[in-house]
Structure formats: C-alpha cells, structure tokens
Amino acid sequence: MPRTRSLQKALFEVAKAVNSTLSVTETLNALVESATKATGAKACSLFLLSPDSKDLLRSAYYGLSEEYITKGPVKAERSIAEVMQGTTVLVKDVTTDPRIQYRREAKKEGITSILSIPVFLHQETIGVMRLYTKDPHDFSKDEVEFASSIANLGAIAIENAKLYESLRSSYEEIRQGVLSWYDILLDKPRPTSFGHPSEAEFARILDFYHILWVYEPRSFPITWDNGNVTEMFTPDFYLPTLDMYIELTTMRQNLVTDKNRKVRRLKELYPNVNIRLVYRKDYFRLLARYGYGPLKEAEMSRIDKVLFTAFEIEERVTQLGEQITLDYKDRQPVFVGVLKGVMCFISDLIRHVSLPVTVDYMAISPYRTETPGSVAIAKDLEISITGRDVILVEDIIDTGLTLNYLLSYLGTKKPASIKVCTLLDKRARRLINVPVDYVGFGIPDEFVIGYGLDYDEIYRNLPFIAVLKTEDSLSGAW
C-alpha cells in the first residue's frame, strides 16, 4: 500500500471516479479500478449479496484473470462469513486460511493476502469489497479505514446509480400516470415542506411544466480530514430528464458566497456532475434554455396546463422520423407542410428522416365567421408532385374538413401516393373519416398552443404544447 501520497488525495481520486457516471455497471467498474490504483493492491473485486444472503454475486473486478474469476460461486456462509456481519477480515495467507474457498486457485493467481471489507448501506451489509495483494501484507489501521471509506463511497454511488436507472426505466409509465415516481424511487411521500419558500416555488414551476424532480437527492462528500468526511454538499433538486442538479440561492451575499464555494468544490471533485447555481430571477430563463416554459412568469397565467413537454415532443418526433425512414426506404418522398402551424413540426421531423427528401409548403385561406366562403388555396406548391410519393404534414387534425379538401386537391396533381402525418389528432371533433397514417399525439377537445400553434398569432414559439386558459378560445383548426 502506498505511503508516498496522502490518503486524502487518493480518496479524492476514488470519489471522482465512482461519481463520474450514473450507470450501475460503470460505477462498479470505476470503483474497483480506482480502489486498486489508490491502495496499490494487485487487484480488487466487489461482491453484492444475493436476495437470500447465501451467495456473494460478483459484480465487478479489476486486475484478476478470467480463469480466477470463473473458478466457481462464492458462498457467503463459508467464505469470510463474519464480513457479512459487518466485520473487516484480513487473510494474511490464502494457502493456509480455511475461510478461503479456492486456496489453490488463489495461489495460482499470485494472491497472498486478502482484505475483505463490508459494504454498508443504511447500516445494512449489502456486499463485500476485496483487496488482493501479491506479497504478504499486514494492513495497518489507517489502511483499513481508508479502504472502508472507499467501500462506503461505492455504496452511495451504487445507490445513486440504481436510483437514476430506476427513474429512467420507469419514465414512460411515470409520464402516463400509471406509476408514482416518488413511490418507486424514494419509497416515501412527496415532501410537504421545503427548506426555503423559493424551493417550494421552484417545485411548483417544475410540476407545471411536467419536469420530473427529486428533492435533495444525494449528498456529495467535498472535504475530508485524515480519510474522514468533514463536509457534505446536498443540492436542492435533481432533474433526471436534464441530468442536472440545481442549487437555489437568494440575494443574501453570505449565502451566495458559501454556495458558490461548494458548487466550485463539487465541480472540481466530480467534473462529470452537471450542477447549476440558480437565483429566483433565473428560474424561467434556465427552463427556457432547456426547452421548458416562456421567459416571463406573467405568461404562465394564460396557460391552463402543459400537455406535452419539449422533451416528450422531441422523443415522439424522433420516433415518427425513424418510422418514415423505414417505410420509405429507397424512395425520395416529398414533404408538404400546411402553413403556418406546421413550421416547427416539419422542420424537426425531416431532420430525423434519413432519406433524400424534398420539402414544399401550402397555405389555405382561414375560415372567417364574418366573411364566410369556400376554402381557397392561398399558396400553392412550387414543385411538381406528379408521380412522387407525398407526405402531407399537418400540425393538428380535428374535424377533418380541411384535410379532406387538401387530399382531394393534391390528388388532382396525380402523385404516386399520398400519406398524412400529423403532430396532433383531435378525434373527438372528427366529422369526416380521413386517413391518417402517422400521429404524434392524440389530444382532448381543447384549444392548444405552442410548438407552432398560435392564439391570435402569439404563443407559436413556446417549446411545449399547452392548453390555453381563455373563455373565448376557438375550437381548433378546421
């Protein structure tokens, strides 16, 4: 074990490694590799307990041969059973100690001593970390405490990685309201109080925009003294869909200075952790930068609820583009967008179509109650679609009257085929059963705005789709 560099510096390196990823597998691999290098051992392995606590399930290893790794299962009740009771165990000579199951294999591997350390989580032993040395080694008290600190850091990192993966894997069910993500992840009710009113306000804003959040999700060690953690930093929020931690602050300078210090320290120790220090006045600007919300708080008052976030829209548009790519393989379709509401949708859609495509636009005269008349083409196509495969792209379809007219009109130009792709489908108002081949989202019979859709020529630039809170809303597009 090295004496030339401080244990504190080595512990910093381990902390950086195990907190550099939110993948469980990558966390385990980083832990055993960094533990081996920090301690100067020959190798390191990590075993987690099986559900019945009878077997040690090998989770990760570093510095061991494949032959030794596959020698056979490790039984908890035979191999260093006292470790499972929370005791650190040192085997000085693997060839003579009866607690070692595979003495012959260990000798062949070049292993002489093994230090086995319990891995604790919430005061329970969840596994064992083992350090292997080539030469006989009598681990000192400082070395044992240092190795135990590594194991405890690993337990925290494993829990955080599992928390993150649980959220990501359950995201779709959570979004649909089938599961409660707080029940799944934290097994406790949503917080009823916050440390500061600004935190409660920020949580309300996140809920408004359907942004998943975890309050005070994890604590990062940022200061040590002789291997012992002396200071932790717990950010206020974690936003899983953005993979971002948020620390809120007020205008009180003493708090700002201290929080800035902690954020800088965290970034130094955990460079792959994305964290932001945010003032109250910056809430909406931050969310707007990542595709959520208008820039001004006042604009929220006109919105009743958010139907689909920017994240959900991006995910669905990507899926539509990939499906169209498969359906039109070896062809060059013409995308025809119906202005103006379709502008955001068609621009994003074609970026996810991996084919050579052509794009053109049409516009029709809007329906006016004060001057009723027949539908008219306000802007016609500029290219010929004769003999071409056409995909008519709409922002929203409800009654089907406009779409039926457009399909009939485009049919006179003798295309090889016509299919319809719409971002939104409001089937509750359908009057004509028009064919729709690709649908982004089905929506209720409400007036929607955002992502290209307007109310009185405003709200088109909102990155999400929402229901407008107004008494005299129009019924939607015809």
pLDDT digits (tens, 9 = 90+) for 357-374: 999 999 887 654 444 445
Find out whether 325 and 350 touch, Cβ atoms under 8 Å.
Answer: no
Q: Note the pLDDT of residue 9.
A: 64
pLDDT at residue 375 is higher than 70 = no
3-class DSSP state of 463:
coil
Q: Nearest Cα to 47, choosing from 125, 110, 109? A: 125
Encode 302-331: b = buried (16+ Cβ within 10 Å), e = exposed. Answer: ebeebbbbbbbbeeebeebbeebeeebeee
Task: Measure the CA–CA gap between 148 and 449, rounded to whole angstroms.
Answer: 56
pLDDT digits (tens, 9 = 90+) for 399-443: 888 888 899 899 999 999 999 999 999 888 787 888 899 999 998
* Residue 330 bears catalytic tag: no
Q: Note the pLDDT of residue 58.
A: 56
pLDDT digits (tens, 9 = 90+) for 210-265: 677 888 878 888 887 766 778 888 888 888 777 788 888 865 666 788 888 888 88
Containing 231, the helix (H) or strand (E) segment is strand 228-233
**How is the chain split among helix, strand and coil, in percent rounded to 5?**
35, 25, 40
The pLDDT > 90 percentage for the chain reads 20
Q: Nearest Cα to 130, choosing from 143, 145, 146, 113? A: 113
pLDDT at residue 136 is higher than 80 = yes
Q: Hey, what domains does the chain have and what are their CATH numbers?
A: 7-164 (3.30.450.40), 175-292 (3.40.960), 308-468 (3.40.50.2020)
- At residue 344, φ and ψ (nearest 5 deg) are -70, -45
Q: Nearest Cα to 100, choosing from 84, 116, 87? A: 116
- Selected catalytic residue, list 236, 348, 395, 398: 398
What is the amino acid identity at position 413? Answer: K
E strands of 63-161, at which residues?
74-75, 89-91, 113-121, 124-133
> 456: alpha, beta or left, given left = phi > 0 and alpha = psi -120 to 50?
left
Sheet bearing 89-91, strands edge to edge: 74-75, 55-62, 43-49, 124-133, 113-121, 89-91
Task: Measure the CA–CA gap between 431 and 148, rounded to whole angstroms.
Answer: 70
Q: Note the pLDDT of residue 69.
A: 81
Name which residue leads in pLDDT, 457 or 387.
Answer: 387
What is the amino acid identity at position 443? Answer: I
E strands of 270-351, at which residues?
275-279, 303-308, 334-338
Paired tokens of 196:
């500061």
Counting Cα atoms < 13 Å in the Cβ hemisphere of 97 gives 20
The mean predicted confidence, pLDDT, of the chain is 77
What DSSP character marks residue 180?
A: -
Q: Note the pLDDT of residue 180.
A: 43
Find out whether 15 and 95 touch, Cβ atoms under 8 Å.
Answer: no
Task: Measure the CA–CA gap between 156 and 120, rounded to whole angstroms.
Answer: 9
pLDDT at residue 293 is higher than 70 = no
For 324-346, the DSSP string reads HHHHTTT--PEEEEETTTTHHHH
Encode 263-283: b = buried (16+ Cβ within 10 Å), e = exposed. Answer: beebeebbeebebbbbeeeeb
Find out whether 470 and 458 touch, Cβ atoms under 8 Å.
Answer: no
pLDDT digits (tens, 9 = 90+) for 166-224: 555 544 444 444 444 444 444 445 666 787 777 887 887 777 666 778 888 788 888 87
pLDDT digits (tens, 9 = 90+) for 8-17: 666 666 666 6
Q: Nearest Cα to 385, choosing from 362, 417, 353, 354? A: 417
**Rounded mean pLDDT of 110-138?**
84
Q: Nearest Cα to 361, choosing from 389, 342, 387? A: 342
Paired tokens of 341:
């509401």
